[in-house]
């Protein structure tokens, strides 16, 4: 069998070992800046030889919806994962949406593994592991965060630390991403799997702007790994789940609209329940402050009036009813509140001041979630064949990356 059909698209079985990396928070500015200063030699080669484009991420520009879109090839309206966190309508509880029971579509990885492809998935944070590894057959799927817990039965691999030669890194470190790449490289050398999906963490991008020493060092490390895969003959595809922007006032304080506080002032207490789908256990990154929120309103509240009033607020870029937002961003209606609110490039949305610990955000806030973080890189180390290039849509999506690397790359051997 040389192709598989997954969620309405057809993918070629990998003809050469193929490595797709999701650079979490990999805003294109980091690459442009690093290339300009001649710091990223492998990426420079990819730019000269292969594909160097931008793509649009899924809104909300958060980690889980985008990673799941990348591995399924479809938007959240189809796969169901529209945040890290949501209000479960069955229970009325706010819960993490990181379990496979929330998935509504199969992944390209699972489908190819079921056809006999050897698939390796490695993620930085454990929150993504089970979503990405769902229904893999005889594959390997583990997180750097819990590398030391990997077992053959659950993860398809054990003694990951011995393989890499490193202890499990701190969750708040650049080493967490580097561990994923180092493990990927070792597995590639040992096993040459048909397909690898390596998903990093955005700790560095949350803390270090493009051009700063922390960012430079991290991107130079990434470049070395990408170059190593390239030299071993892999097809390498790179994209990101979202960009990253500075979210501070001109004086350097986090620029926050506390939505519940605003809505309570207009509507009275208890009329609005604000859900921040960026919320996850890793709050040091962002203090649960991103640029996307959804709000459940009491049935007596006039939704259109709230929409109109919020649209007039400074710092708000988009407000839509559930139906409108599902249409605009291909989201699942049963997992969203009555309205969707998106703040602008330099503003985030919170619930109320007492719900966010700003002391964690030493050095200012960089975050994501909105429309300003939708542009991400789409980079491939190989050229595309002409016929495929011609049928590419004018606007690429980050979840086209598997289509591009599996269907579009010239099969050199
Ligand atoms: Zn992310």
| Domain coordinates in residue numbering, the chain | 3-244+373-412, 256-367
CA distance 17 to 14: 7
The dihedrals phi and psi of 208, each to the nearest 5 degrees, come to: -130, 120
Full-model pTM:
0.96
Res. 28: pLDDT tops 90: yes
What's the mean pLDDT when you consider all of the chain?
94
344 C-alpha to ligand 1 centroid (Å)? 18
204 C-alpha to ligand 1 centroid (Å)? 11
All residues at 6 or more sequence positions from 316 whose CB lies less than 8 Å from its CB, including other chains: 257, 310, 341, 342, 343, 344, 347
**What CATH homologous superfamily does 256-367 map to?**
Domain 2, Phosphonoacetate Hydrolase (3.30.1360.110)
3-244+373-412 in CATH: which number? 3.40.720.10
CA distance 337 to 322: 6
201 C-alpha to ligand 1 centroid (Å)? 6
The better pLDDT of the pair 110, 364 is held by 110
pLDDT in tens, 140-187: 999 999 999 999 999 999 999 999 999 998 888 889 999 999 999 999
* Mean pLDDT to the nearest integer, 299-312: 97
256-367 matches 3-244+373-412 in CATH topology:
no
Q: Bridge partners of 195?
A: 18, 119
Q: Give percent of the chain with pLDDT exceeding 70.
A: 98
Q: How distant, in Å, are the alpha carbons of 34, 191, 236 from that of 119?
A: 31, 10, 15
Contact 180, 21 (CB under 8 A): no
220 C-alpha to ligand 1 centroid (Å)? 20
Grade residue 223 by pLDDT with cuts at 50, 70 and 90: very high
Instruction: Tell me what pLDDT residue 283 has.
Output: 64
408 C-alpha to ligand 1 centroid (Å)? 26
116 C-alpha to ligand 1 centroid (Å)? 30
322 C-alpha to ligand 1 centroid (Å)? 24
385 C-alpha to ligand 1 centroid (Å)? 31
Task: Tell me the three state secondary structure of residue 390.
Answer: helix
* Mean pLDDT to the nearest integer, 52-74: 97
197 C-alpha to ligand 1 centroid (Å)? 15
């Amino acid at each position: 069998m040389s192709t598989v059909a997954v969620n309405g698209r057809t993918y070629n079985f990998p003809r050469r070992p193929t490595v797709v990396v999701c650079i979490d928070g990999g805003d294109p500015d980091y690459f442009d800046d690093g290339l300009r200063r001649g710091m990223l030699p492998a990426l420079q080669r990819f730019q000269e030889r292969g594909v160097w484009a931008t793509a649009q991420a899924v809104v909300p520009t958060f980690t889980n919806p985008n990673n799941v879109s990348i591995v399924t090839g479809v938007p959240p309206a189809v796969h169901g994962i529209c945040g890290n966190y949501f209000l479960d309508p069955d229970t009325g509880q706010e819960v993490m949406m990181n379990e496979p029971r929330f998935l509504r579509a199969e992944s390209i990885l699972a489908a190819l593994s079921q056809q006999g492809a050897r698939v390796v998935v490695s993620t930085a944070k454990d929150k993504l592991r089970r979503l990405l590894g769902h229904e893999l057959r005889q594959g390997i799927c583990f997180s750097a965060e819990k590398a030391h817990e990997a077992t053959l039965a659950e993860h398809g691999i054990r003694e990951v630390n011995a393989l890499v030669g490193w202890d499990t890194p701190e969750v708040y470190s650049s080493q967490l991403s580097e561990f994923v790449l180092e493990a990927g490289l070792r597995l590639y050398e040992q096993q040459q799997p048909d397909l690898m999906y390596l998903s990093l963490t955005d700790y560095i991008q949350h803390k270090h702007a493009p051009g700063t020493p922390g960012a430079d060092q991290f991107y130079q490390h990434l470049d070395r790994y990408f170059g190593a895969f390239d030299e071993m003959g892999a097809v390498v595809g790179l994209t990101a789940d979202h960009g990253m922007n500075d979210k501070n006032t001109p004086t350097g304080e986090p620029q926050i609209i506390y939505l519940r506080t605003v809505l309570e002032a207009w509507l009275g207490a208890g009329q609005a329940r604000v859900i921040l789908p960026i919320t996850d256990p890793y709050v040091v990154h962002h203090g649960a402050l991103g640029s996307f929120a959804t709000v459940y309103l009491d049935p007596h509240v006039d939704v259109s009036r709230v929409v109109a009033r919020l649209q007039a607020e400074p710092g708000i870029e988009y407000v839509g009813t559930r139906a409108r937002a599902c249409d605009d961003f291909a989201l699942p209606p049963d997992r969203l509140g009555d309205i969707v609110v998106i703040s602008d490039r330099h503003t985030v949305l919170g619930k109320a001041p007492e719900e966010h610990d700003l002391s964690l955000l030493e050095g200012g806030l960089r975050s994501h979630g909105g429309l300003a973080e939708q542009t991400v890189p789409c980079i491939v180390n190989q050229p595309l064949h002409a016929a495929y290039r011609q049928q590419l849509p004018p606007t690429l999506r980050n979840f086209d990356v598997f289509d591009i690397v599996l269907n579009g790359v010239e099969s050199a051997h």
